[in-house]
Structure 1
Amino acid sequence: MNNSNIYTLGTKLLSKTFSVNSICLGSGADEKGNNDAMNLLEGHLETFNFPIAFKHVSGKNYCDLMGSGWGILYLISDRMKHLLEKERLTGWKCFPIEIVDKNGKKIQEVYHGFSIVGRSGSIIYKKSDVIEKQLVPNGPLSKYYKGIHPEMETWDGSDFFLPKNHWGTMVTQKAKDIMVKNKLTNIMLQNLAEIEVGVNTVLDY
């Protein structure tokens, strides 16, 4: 499998979409350098007290994929969970959450925390093309890597996965096609071949 058959998973960040922030997750790092959101994303659930609480902050339109207030961590609807189970897509698991309104009253819509347990090797930027872009008229040229390439020799074959030392969720063509066909809402999928990353933002490859 090459990067033209892999996509990043994210939300559309629409203003009318129901959105939440976490109430109890901490930003401090543990002995591995991970904060709470990273551990939940990676499926390291042993030290948490469930359910994890989230509070409604804006929007009213419920969707299938919801941001959590942490850029890397998502919540999924019951509909999305059942679809992934029905289609036997791999590389994910759920954890219990609850959502409350601004007055602390529990909201009855059913959502689940979304952990990604599939894995691949690291992103290999040496495989990317280097392009130059001028971001403003008469401004300097900036260098970007065009296309990102996870090391797939150690990919475990999962439909949802995280590259080593990377917290952006990636999905296979199969998973992308199923989500699009079933019209899951608030989902943004970007092909890895089209992603651009500033060269000066990559510390080591």
Structure 2
Amino acid sequence: MFFSLRNKQVNGAMLLQGKYNYNFFDISSGKIEINQEVTMKIVKGKKLMDFLFLNDGVNFIISSKCHDLFLLNKICGWKSYRVSIEGVSEDYFGIQTIGRSGKLIRDYTKGFITGYNLDYKTWDGSDIFSPEATHHKFISKKLLELINENKLTNVEMLNINDVKHYNIPEKN
């Protein structure tokens, strides 16, 4: 059982913009090695949360509390880089998802459907991962429970079988 990790969009939560000159998809997937602190600019909101999302729709950062919990509980499938938010003294870390699975099994229905199908045999066993050819962030039950037990903020997790999304069938 897997869960989709998404922005909860808590009212007033900070939305950020990264000050870097890289393709944000490459950053998210870990294709680019980031060895220096990255500065973030606040675009909207004032509330600090455990998960803060960037306005690129793909990347997010986590609080030091969240970072420490991931390390302590041996969460796998990610790597991090240091982040500074302009005007904020708290420590944050950018997340790169390096856990993988094969492609999602596509439905042939065009339009809104419910659920993502995944071949479990293609999953690398990571607690956070992205299916091939997507930028979805899927998480294990272990990570779901860790987030819930520690009441980490501004993140929503939905069972991938319950996610409603628009589907465009692949061309044969």
If the length of structure 1 is used for normalisation, what is the TM-score?
0.77
Cα distance in 2 for partners of 1:192, 1:204 equals: 23
Does the CA contact (< 8 Å) of 1:148 and 1:195 recur in 2?
A: yes
Give the unaligned 5+ runs of structure 1: 27-35, 102-106, 131-141
Other-structure match for 2:121: 153
Deviation at 1:193, TM superposition (A): 0.7
Could you say which residue in structure 1 is the equivalent of 2:164?
A: 196
Question: How big is the shift at 1:40?
Answer: 1.1
Residue 162 of structure 1 corresponds to 130
Q: Which residue of 2 aligns with 1:8?
A: 4
* CA RMSD after TM alignment: 2.0
1:134-191 CA-to-partner distances (Å, cap 9, x unmatched) read xxxxxxxx84332111222121101100100010110011110111011001111111
Q: 1:109 to 1:21 in 2, by over 3 A?
A: same
Residue type of the partner of 2:29?
E
* Aligned pairs, number: 172
| Matching residue of 2:102 | 121
Could you give the per-residue CA deviations for residues 49-101 of structure 1, whole angstroms, max 9, x where no partner exists? 62222101222221000001211110000000000111111111101222114
SS in 1 for 2:56: coil
Cα offset for 1:202? Answer: 4.1
Match of residue 18 from structure 2: 22
Counterpart selection for 2:145 from 162, 177, 200? 177
The residue type equivalent to 1:86 in the other structure is: L
Provide closer, same or farther for how the CA distance between residues 153 and 97 of structure 1 changes in structure 2, counting only shifts above 3 A: same
Task: Provide the C-alpha distance between the structure 2 equivalents of 1:39 and 1:157, rounded to a whole number of angstroms.
Answer: 22
Asked if structure 1 preserves the Cα contact closer than 8 Å seen for 2:35 and 2:81, the reply is: no
Larger Rg: 1
Aligned equivalent of 1:37: 24
For residues 14 and 182 of structure 1, what CA distance do their matches in structure 2 show? 17
TM-score by length of 2: 0.90
Task: For 1:46-61, list aligned pairs within 5 A.
Answer: 46=33, 48=34, 50-61=36-47
Give the match for residue 92 of structure 1. 78
Aligned to 2:70, what secondary structure does the other structure show? helix
| One-letter identity of the residue aligned with 1:169 | K
Q: Kindly, what percent of the aligned residue pairs are identical?
A: 24
Deviation of the 1:204 alpha carbon: 4.7
Unaligned runs of 5+ in 2: none
